[in-house]
Structure 1
């Protein structure tokens, strides 16, 4: 990249449209679940997968969900800081650098989806429920999925970048 600053059209900020799509899909699915299911209701889909309506007052895997409510604002603040940081990084990346821009947009879309829940409802709506026999993975949602995939892409990129630098 040259010394000149990238315009918005040339920068990775263009990829924020993906974050908007993820946010809208996440909120639409959560709204559908809230309007059509009872809290705790589970619908069998596959022998290892259910749609189960749950409220998560904490973070991933219900981390800190048993606290008095302060965690709601902590996780909201963290999401805003991460979103601002990733958006800034996107503004410095060229739009054609798809891998990192997609990863950042996935994290931003998911983070804002969960922030919306925390601010509006006081909890995050979860509904994806994986299990094998008696082992149940904590219930999660589309936002959690896109955050994890985006983070995995960033980690993978770090390993691949090191391998390419050695070559």
Structure 2
């Protein structure tokens, strides 16, 4: 018995939106814990493991603290940009045909929505995970950022995957 492609596509898209929801839920739950349960003072570090600490920071910019915005106008411009970019990514996700592309986009969209919620609610994004080993030090980030990076990695992996190279050869 052959699977109905329309039903399979619908299930994939429903799973993608569930992935978006789970990503937002995990991100917001972790931020709620940091802000309301952990009692972690701003800027102080809590060692979780060697090279991994929690440190509460407020990111008023975009990735890696670029384009810091201290004005209300700057904040709302970033909010507007996030809305436009997220709608474009959702459109791509709905139209995509490869499962890995859809999965990667669901992580990116979920992460974008998680950081969007922070920016609207607090005026800045809640960052709290600090990773460092010896002289290597990464920026402070959150679970939404992790989801976005994982989603981009999935898109990159999928773009170099066998199904895409086979389609290019036959086209």
Specify the TM-score bucket, using the shorter chain as the normaliser.
0.7 to 0.9
CA contact 2:69–2:75 (8 Å) conserved in 1: no
Instruction: Give TM-score scaled by structure 2 length.
Output: 0.82
**Structural mapping, 1:24-103, within 5 Å:** 24-35=25-36, 36=38, 37-65=40-68, 67-94=70-97, 97-103=98-104
Instruction: Give TM-score scaled by structure 1 length.
Output: 0.84
Deviation at 1:66, TM superposition (A): 5.7
1 or 2, which has the higher helix percentage?
A: 2
1:10 maps to what in 2? 10
1:3 maps to what in 2? none
2:3 maps to what in 1? none
In structure 1, the gaps of 5 or more residues are 1-5
Does the C-alpha gap of structure 1 residues 134 and 68 become closer, same or farther in structure 2, counting only changes over 3 Å?
farther
- RMSD of aligned Cα (Å): 2.3
Runs of 4+ in 1 over 6 A off after TM superposition: none
Does the C-alpha gap of structure 1 residues 53 and 33 become closer, same or farther in structure 2, counting only changes over 3 Å?
same
Deviation at 1:9, TM superposition (A): 6.8
Deviation at 1:159, TM superposition (A): 2.1
- Residues of 1 paired with 2:29 and 2:88: CA distance? 26
In structure 2, the gaps of 5 or more residues are 1-5
Deviation at 1:72, TM superposition (A): 2.1
- Residues of 2 paired with 1:87 and 1:162: CA distance? 21
The size of the alignment, in residue pairs, is: 160
